[in-house]
Amino acid sequence: MKLPTNINFQSLKNNKWMKSFKRFTDCSDFISFIAKAIFTLIIWAIALIPFWLYLVIRLIAEPVGFWQELATVALCIIFMGWFQVMLAFGAAVLTASLIFDDTI
């Protein structure tokens, strides 16, 4: 499987969902602000799913001592850390494109 070497962020603007989002936010500045804020909250709630899973695992496992805490944190970082970093990076890019680009 060949990975893409060049990522075109302009294709995000041509997406069907983004076009309908653009039509919705063209109504007024206040509606645009509210829609962007809600969209940003949804993006970050999805991006933090591995963190929510860590909290649930920690709540269920109930680690008692230092070594159990360390093992819980280490396992969660090993298995979910890379996914959390990828989702956070994607959320940061989408958030920046919403905040700094008025053409979306």
Residue 35 counted as domain residue = yes
Residue 94 counted as domain residue = yes
Whole domain around residue 60: which residue ranges? 15-100
Residue 96 contacts residue 49 (beta carbons within 8 Å): no
Number of structural domains found in the chain: 1
Distance CA 79, CA 88 (A): 16
Q: Residues 13, 19, 25, 26: what is their CA dihedral angle, to the nearest 10 degrees?
A: 100
Q: Which residues contact 81 (CB under 8 A, 6 or more apart)?
A: 50
Nearest to 86 by CA among 46, 37, 41: 46
Residue 68 counted as domain residue = yes
Could you report the per-residue pLDDT of 85-97, keeping only the tens digit for each? 899 998 998 888 8
Residue 59 counted as domain residue = yes
Could you report the per-residue pLDDT of 30-87, keeping only the tens digit for each? 777 787 888 889 999 999 999 999 889 889 988 899 999 999 889 888 888 888 889 9
